[in-house]
Structure 1
């Protein structure tokens, strides 16, 4: 299938090997299955499920930040934007996947380890009850060194077959100092995402280094707004890069449901466009996400 014109330069970029001269003329090409049969868990500030871009394909799963936060509404807007990039009809990569809200961040975007761990536990329980549905977890979150969180994520990936995609973080430093970004290094099934910009440079803010697995567009990304049913908003960060990769993982799993998380990671990296991003320094893998036929 093809989407043209694209609302976001990110969709255009991941659909082309070379950088398009004009993003608005580059269609987004994706398989007809479009992520059908895959659940993308949005581990974030909530999802505004009434937004038209989800077309009924998003739902409230759980909120582990209560009573500190609203149990369903996305007051912050971050989670809705991330979900729109993963599975929105217009703004999203996987246009037929389901997006399930795991509200583990409060209304100011803050998290506590025990609430994050509860969210992971909820996902694992749900995944075990749904053997025919493949699962991707999008974690556009970064914290300090958190061994309990890292361990729970690795268990979810290794033991329960969940593809976990995490943000590299926005500190302009090595991702190897941050959780869960640090567990995206070679040899684990976890995918850590760094941010590229409109001219194929690693952004100034993106964390970098060997714990990053892959790069994806992360500046001035337009997606669904948290505070209206039709609105859109621009956001920047590795949080925006991450759902491009989660959506791409859902596209792969929709057509190849038997793939393990490690195989999904390897395929995404193998299929990525190599050596096109400038400033990918300090052992950052020079691999730009690619979804498409070009």
Structure 2
């Protein structure tokens, strides 16, 4: 969620408003045909929907699969044959349910455009008769509109805090006295962690975003795993799905936000060879997952379909037996939510990753709300990340809700890699910039204690964080990440909190 871009226009605002109501349908049997938003319609007149399924023994099969946690760096992946068998059994059960539901639909009334190996959903484009049939099908648990989520509308760049006069000041943020040109990592104590040998080495951060410029100098020497999921067939080769080197390449610079993923990836794991700038987990590796499509419009733009986000989460889960994944970072979202949006399909992906000790960090949004945050950050089991300033104020653009936001991280004037060239950098503002700070933090803390659950690490982060009071005038606060304190957090002093957080 970047805040230094030019206005994308009324068309995006309309799409954002339409998306904000979509998750409300996910817990039931979907909307009437004439209530479907235009953003969910294909150029052939079909409607994109994500269908939740009843899968026989799903809970037991998923639990059997999830007993094989993410592989740690000192664990031999070759000994994970039982994990592959459990995953195959789960995938077969889901496929059986998909086939049963599709068999109940009128012929030529639908097109399947996304299936999932570990999550009980299928994404289909349907006509009115097929939608009606799905609503009547006993094996269908939910129908969710699948409309693209744009990168959030921009806000003026600045370092001011919410509630301060001149919050949108263009003055640069205060830089640290250490050598890192990016003030964020030193502010959260990453440099202190590095001096103790905790750099994220051996661990990997997944960035679900607009792709990556893998040849950028900031990523030199890193292992980078790539994948692409695009409902509009914008992956390399004009496909909906692609894997391997080059599959997560970002779009052309004619699209607003094209290099958003490159900036976020740099914040989490970047490391310039001369030492002048580094991300949080500077020796961690990357999984770059491109989950955005080109959306046709008067001025084409890039947006992310929830079905592709779900595919990205599913993909990260599939890699847990071969890659030591600390966290998945999602700097995207839209809408305004004051209560948990747990009917959203992405919750199943967040929960599945959490069950194998992988955190999902998600940006709260850049609208400056005082009672609302965006979806999917409003999922109760996600780590919802708000943005803070170098002076430990709430960034003026941050979306705040005391019951939904989890914590703060630096998000104003954050310096990182961009897609213009292999040596280009820029300072951007947004909760998008705050979110990968937390994902990188997770890699450092996993290196410190490789077998800790998401709830246990979160308890350490919350216990050791620096309180930041919201600028919304309520006097309420959330902690800003501070890694050294989280490293020192005594497990016995927070032993009840992880149990509550893992519920």
TM-score between the two structures when normalised by the length of structure 2: 0.51
What are structure 2's unaligned runs of at least 5 residues?
A: 1-176, 237-246, 252-257, 272-276, 295-300, 336-340, 489-503
Instruction: Report the CA distance shift for 1:60/1:270 in structure 2 as closer, same or farther (over 3 A).
Output: same
Q: Is it true that 1:234 corresponds to 2:427 in the alignment?
A: yes
Report the structure number with the largest CA radius of gyration: 2
Residue among 143, 149, 169 paired with 2:334: 143
d(CA) in 1 for partners of 2:434, 2:343: 24
d(CA) in 1 for partners of 2:220, 2:438: 21
Match in the other structure for 1:201: 393
Deviation at 1:199?
2.5
Match in the other structure for 2:281: 94
The answer on whether the counterparts of 1:46 and 1:79 sit within 8 Å (CA) in structure 2 is yes
d(CA) in 2 for partners of 1:161, 1:73: 28
Q: Secondary structure at the match of 1:182?
A: coil
TM-score between the two structures when normalised by the length of structure 1: 0.84
Q: Secondary structure at the match of 1:170?
A: coil
d(CA) in 2 for partners of 1:84, 1:216: 15
The answer on whether the counterparts of 1:153 and 1:164 sit within 8 Å (CA) in structure 2 is no
RMSD of aligned residue pairs (Cα, Å) = 2.5
- The count of corresponding residues between Structure 1 and Structure 2 is 274
Per-residue displacement from partner, 1:114-164 (whole Å, max 9, x unpaired)? 11111111111111x32x724310111113368333422332234332111
Match in the other structure for 2:436: 243
d(CA) in 1 for partners of 2:475, 2:361: 20
Match in the other structure for 1:68: 234
What are structure 1's unaligned runs of at least 5 residues?
A: 16-26
Residue among 154, 170, 183 paired with 2:379: 183
Q: Secondary structure at the match of 1:42?
A: strand
The answer on whether the counterparts of 1:141 and 1:166 sit within 8 Å (CA) in structure 2 is yes
Deviation at 1:284?
5.4
Per-residue displacement from partner, 1:183-227 (whole Å, max 9, x unpaired)? 25xxx3x21110111332212210111211111111111101112
The answer on whether the counterparts of 1:87 and 1:97 sit within 8 Å (CA) in structure 2 is yes
Q: Secondary structure at the match of 2:344?
A: helix
Per-residue displacement from partner, 1:13-37 (whole Å, max 9, x unpaired)? 212xxxxxxxxxxx93223131112
Match in the other structure for 1:28: 191
Deviation at 1:281?
4.9
d(CA) in 2 for partners of 1:169, 1:10: 18
The answer on whether the counterparts of 2:373 and 2:405 sit within 8 Å (CA) in structure 1 is no
Q: Secondary structure at the match of 1:199?
A: coil
* Larger RCO, structures 1/2 (Cα 8 Å, 6+ apart): 1
Match in the other structure for 1:80: 262
Instruction: Report the CA distance shift for 1:8/1:177 in structure 2 as closer, same or farther (over 3 A).
Output: closer
Deviation at 1:174?
5.2
d(CA) in 2 for partners of 1:285, 1:150: 27
